[in-house]
């Protein structure tokens, strides 16, 4: 699913309400002036003595991310390891309600009950809340949907991990308790996302979830310095594939730097191992030697791939089902490393 930046919602009005907002003009990857607010957003810092990272915390009125696409408990501000940077804003324009004004390993769940809902009725997005369906058009991830109920967020802060719990009961019959722990492994250059989803409603839950992986390694633009690697031979067709981005055995490589506003995209890579062993991806910066190794403990449903001039994003999907009363768990790990030169 592509993550290209779309138009914001009530951008100027929303920005003026942010507490202590300061507008900064930033030169971002040579793409020109990008306007990003530096504000007193609710946030937390984590460290295990090896990795340092900061996250923005869910808040319906003053939170950094208030869009209706991504899980609110995954808004990373930054992450550094051994002097290498891995997470920062990849987009030019910011609005808290913009669907993809968010950075790092962020996650999205496909909607519950959207297809059966009539215009004016509600549907559910896990990690976001109960939303209003405005018309009879198909669901669009880039569209902002009015939030009817944000549910209840509970956050527990620790030095090296954050515990998020989101509880929601909807009149649609869907209800859940979603728990996500963002943890830095003791003594290791590793970030782990631990998830639990318990169905506490009347209807069965069936959804797909994926991590968009908005990584930017050492501020390098998308191009030949970026290497994406899998433990199997990969193939792909789609926008830019075979010309701008080239499958070469078990790697995806770029023939040149992407231009501003240029994108590559495929709805699914092919050739991957659909078991949990296939959830194995590396993103490396060939210039600086820094990389991130991504693994998961669930079978792959598919791997979407999207990139723009600032970030390269393999998007591994998994499928989840939970009958009423059932709980499902899954985990994603990110090992950061520096190649010896």
Query: How is the chain split into domains, by residue range?
Result: 1-218+317-341, 226-316
Give me the pLDDT at residue 165, please. Answer: 98
Confidence of residue 17 (pLDDT cuts 50, 70, 90): very low
Q: Of the candidates 296, 303, 56, 51, which has an alpha carbon nearest to the alpha carbon of residue 155?
A: 56
- The pTM (predicted TM-score) of the whole model is 0.89
Give me the pLDDT at residue 9, please. Answer: 35
Give me the pLDDT at residue 34, please. Answer: 43
Torsion angle, alpha carbons of 185, 186, 187, 192, to 10:
0
Q: Is the dihedral of CA 268, 271, 274, 278 positive or negative?
A: negative
Residue 284, both tokens? 């490396």
Contact yes or no for 106/76 (Cβ under 8 A): yes
Summarised one tens digit per residue, pLDDT across range 152-172 is 999 999 999 999 999 999 999
Q: Exposure of 62 by Cβ count < 10 A (0-12 exposed, 13-18 middle, 19+ buried)?
A: middle
Contact yes or no for 305/313 (Cβ under 8 A): yes
In the predicted model, is pLDDT for residue 18 greater than 70?
no
Residue 200, both tokens? 């506490």
- Tell me 138's DSSP state: P
Q: From the CA atom positions of the chain, what is the Rg in Å?
A: 19
Chain Cα centroid distance, residue 262:
20
- Report the share of the chain in percent with pLDDT over 70: 88
Q: Exposure of 108 by Cβ count < 10 A (0-12 exposed, 13-18 middle, 19+ buried)?
A: buried
Q: Of the candidates 143, 110, 147, 136, which has an alpha carbon nearest to the alpha carbon of residue 125?
A: 110
92 three-class SS: coil
Confidence of residue 5 (pLDDT cuts 50, 70, 90): very low
Average pLDDT, the chain: 91
In the predicted model, is pLDDT for residue 125 greater than 50?
yes
The residue-averaged pLDDT of 127-146 equals 98
The residue-averaged pLDDT of 177-202 equals 98
- Report the share of the chain in percent with pLDDT over 90: 87
Give me the pLDDT at residue 38, please. Answer: 52
The residue-averaged pLDDT of 190-214 equals 98
Confidence of residue 7 (pLDDT cuts 50, 70, 90): very low
Confidence of residue 341 (pLDDT cuts 50, 70, 90): low
Give me the pLDDT at residue 37, please. Answer: 55
In the predicted model, is pLDDT for residue 15 greater than 60?
no
């Amino acid at each position: 699913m592509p993550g290209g930046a779309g138009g914001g919602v009530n951008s100027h009005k929303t920005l003026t309400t942010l507490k202590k907002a300061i507008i900064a003009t930033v030169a971002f990857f040579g793409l020109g002036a990008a306007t990003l607010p530096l504000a007193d957003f609710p946030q937390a810092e984590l460290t295990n003595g090896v990795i340092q990272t900061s996250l923005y915390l869910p808040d319906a009125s003053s939170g950094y991310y208030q869009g209706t696409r991504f899980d609110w408990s995954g808004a990373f501000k930054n992450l550094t390891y051994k002097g290498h940077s891995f997470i920062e804003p990849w987009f030019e324009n910011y609005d808290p309600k913009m669907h993809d004004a968010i950075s790092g390993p962020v996650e999205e769940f496909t909607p519950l009950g959207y297809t059966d809902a009539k215009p004016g009725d509600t549907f559910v997005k896990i990690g976001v809340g109960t939303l209003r369906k405005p018309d009879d058009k198909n669901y669009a991830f880039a569209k902002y949907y009015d939030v009817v109920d944000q549910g209840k967020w509970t956050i527990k802060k620790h030095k090296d991990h954050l515990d998020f719990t989101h509880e929601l009961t909807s009149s649609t019959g869907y209800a859940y308790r979603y728990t996500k722990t963002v943890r830095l492994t003791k003594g290791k250059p590793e970030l782990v996302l631990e998830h639990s989803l318990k169905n506490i409603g009347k209807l069965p839950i069936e959804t797909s979830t994926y991590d968009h992986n908005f990584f930017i390694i050492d501020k390098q633009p998308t191009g030949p310095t970026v290497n994406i690697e899998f433990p199997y031979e990969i193939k792909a067709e789609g926008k830019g594939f075979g010309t701008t981005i080239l499958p070469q055995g078990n790697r995806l490589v770029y023939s040149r730097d992407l231009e501003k506003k240029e994108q590559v995209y495929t709805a699914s890579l092919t050739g991957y191992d659909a078991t949990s062993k296939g959830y194995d991806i590396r993103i490396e910066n060939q210039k600086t030697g820094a990389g991130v190794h991504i693994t998961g403990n669930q079978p792959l449903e598919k791997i979407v791939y999207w990139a723009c001039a600032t970030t390269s994003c393999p998007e591994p999907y998994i499928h989840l089902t939970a009958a009423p009363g059932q709980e499902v768990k899954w985990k994603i790990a990110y090992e950061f490393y520096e190649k010896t030169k």
